[in-house]
């Protein structure tokens, strides 16, 4: 009898006790709105911003309602206007082109390589098309950031980093989100810290930060921030910037502060699981492991592999057979978008030229969550199942 995995791919760990205690304290005093503070009190949200900014070495941080909101705010703060074009990844998740469309701008999609990072040759070719790149470190894969910044700086293109999957990750020792003008993060349940919903925007640019604070809905209470620029930066900006309410509240901030403090340790635990999975599937015939460069400090909260140039029926067969044994794989090559997977050609509001090289890779990307509720032995079992089922389908097809 072949083994069946019983774990849940969508079950996260509970909120740390310190977060539960802090959340209860907020519920008990009732001051949930970030600017609702007792005399002399520093709000949980302001403290969280200060702590997150310090953790990535950023001058400024604004906590907001979601990662998608952070990206939209970043684009607006950089002056992206309706009708503008914004470069972005063809391989990413729906909130990324959605953030571009939300400001009335138009995505120009850049291809993906076999390393699952943005295709820098394609980027160099298209760089003249826009003033801003919304770079998604999709599934935590970080491209050669020094080369990317060279291309963008050379063309005067500003970079916004979507770090939804790279909170805690780094390239050459520099935290993800600190290369571009703005870094955006998500605190949604399936990311690296869990408040249900939430996001951060970080920057070293005082004007961008001031605009983001105003947009997030600070009214004229920006002096209550601990990671915002000084009041003089707001002097004109406060009259010119619309309020597009998207604040974080003190309840979420209370839940998040202990998680931000603990992020490093959690990343180590994710990477231990990732390594067991990676070791377990490496060498499976027909399956390509995504090799991670030495410059990259990863956070292995999900793992991808390629079934490159397989027929769609064969990949579907792998997905079905693994599902029967309790292993939930997601496939970016399916003809219809399902669950969280969709592709540049699913976003019909944003037309794109066909990208055959990218299509070939998307058709082969298989993706799996790695929740921290899995033990290392769970990871070994999941890898054995993937290996056995992929191997069997490959053999039959050969
Ligand atoms: C989750 C996610 C976001 C934004 O997340 P929100 O759900 O808006 O917080 C952005 N980019 C990617 C790649 C994501 O997976």
Once rounded to an integer, what is the mean pLDDT over residues 266-278?
Answer: 98
The tens digit of pLDDT for each residue in 181-233 reads 999 999 999 999 999 999 999 999 999 999 999 999 999 999 999 999 999 99
The tens digit of pLDDT for each residue in 308-337 reads 999 999 999 999 999 999 999 999 988 788
- Ligand 1 within 6 A of CB of 93: yes
pLDDT, position 333: 86
**Rounded CA gap, 109 and 123, in Å?**
9
Q: Are 136 and 162 in contact (CB under 8 A)?
A: yes
The reported pTM is 0.97
pLDDT, position 398: 65
What's 205-253 look like in SS3? Answer: CHHHHHHHHHHHHCCCCHHHCCCCCCHHHHHHHHHHCCCCCCECCHHHH
The tens digit of pLDDT for each residue in 48-79 reads 999 999 999 999 999 999 999 999 999 999 99
The tens digit of pLDDT for each residue in 92-133 reads 999 999 999 999 999 999 999 999 999 999 999 999 999 999
The tens digit of pLDDT for each residue in 349-381 reads 988 889 999 999 999 999 999 999 999 999 999
Instruction: Give distance in angstroms: CA of 289 to centre of ligand 1.
Output: 24
**Rounded CA gap, 188 and 222, in Å?**
25
- Ligand 1 within 6 A of CB of 92: yes
Q: Whole-number mean pLDDT of the chain? A: 96
Percent of the chain having pLDDT more than 70? 99
- Ligand 1 within 6 A of CB of 199: yes
E strand map for the chain: 60-64, 85-89, 106-110, 132-136, 158-162, 170-171, 174-175, 182-186, 199-203, 288-289, 296-297, 302-306, 330-331, 365-369
Ligand 1 atom index nearest CA of 137 = 13
- Among protein residues, the one with the nearest Cα to ligand 1's atom 14 is 164
């Amino acid at each position: 009898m072949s083994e069946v995995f019983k774990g849940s791919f969508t079950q996260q760990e509970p909120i740390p006790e310190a977060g539960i205690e802090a959340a209860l304290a907020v519920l008990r005093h009732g001051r949930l709105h970030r600017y609702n503070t007792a005399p002399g009190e520093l709000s949980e949200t302001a403290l969280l911003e200060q702590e997150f900014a310090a953790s990535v070495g950023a001058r400024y941080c604004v906590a907001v309602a979601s990662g998608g909101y952070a990206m939209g705010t970043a684009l607006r703060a950089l002056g992206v206007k309706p009708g503008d074009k914004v470069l972005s990844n063809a391989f990413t998740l729906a909130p990324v082109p959605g953030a571009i469309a939300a400001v009335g701008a138009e995505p120009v999609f850049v291809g993906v390589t076999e390393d699952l990072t943005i295709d820098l040759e394609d980027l160099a070719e298209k760089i003249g098309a826009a003033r801003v790149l919304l770079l998604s470190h999709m599934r935590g894969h970080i491209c050669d950031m020094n080369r990317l910044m060279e291309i963008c700086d050379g063309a005067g293109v500003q970079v916004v980093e979507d770090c939804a999957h790279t909170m805690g990750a780094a390239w050459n020792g520099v935290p993800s989100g600190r290369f571009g003008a703005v870094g955006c993060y998500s605190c949604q349940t399936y990311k690296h810290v869990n408040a249900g919903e939430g996001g951060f925007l970080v920057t070293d640019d005082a004007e961008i930060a001031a605009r983001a604070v105003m947009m997030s809905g600070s009214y004229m209470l920006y002096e209550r921030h601990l990671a915002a620029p000084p009041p003089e930066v707001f002097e004109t900006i406060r009259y010119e910037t619309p309020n597009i309410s998207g604040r974080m509240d003190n309840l979420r901030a209370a839940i998040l502060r202990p998680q931000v403090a603990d992020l490093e340790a959690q990343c180590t635990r994710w990477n231990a699981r990732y390594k067991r999975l990676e070791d377990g599937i490496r060498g499976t015939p027909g399956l390509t492991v995504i090799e991670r460069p030495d410059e990259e400090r990863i956070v292995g909260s999900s793992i991808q592999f390629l079934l490159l140039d397989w027929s769609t029926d064969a990949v579907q067969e792998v997905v079905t057979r693994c599902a029967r044994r309790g292993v939930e794989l997601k496939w970016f090559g399916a003809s219809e978008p399902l669950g969280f997977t969709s592709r540049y050609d699913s976003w019909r509001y944003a037309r794109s030229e066909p990208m055959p090289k990218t299509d070939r890779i998307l058709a082969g990307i298989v993706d799996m969550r790695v929740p921290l509720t899995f033990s290392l032995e769970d990871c070994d079992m999941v890898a054995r199942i993937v290996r056995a089922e992929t191997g069997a389908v490959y053999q039959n097809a050969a």
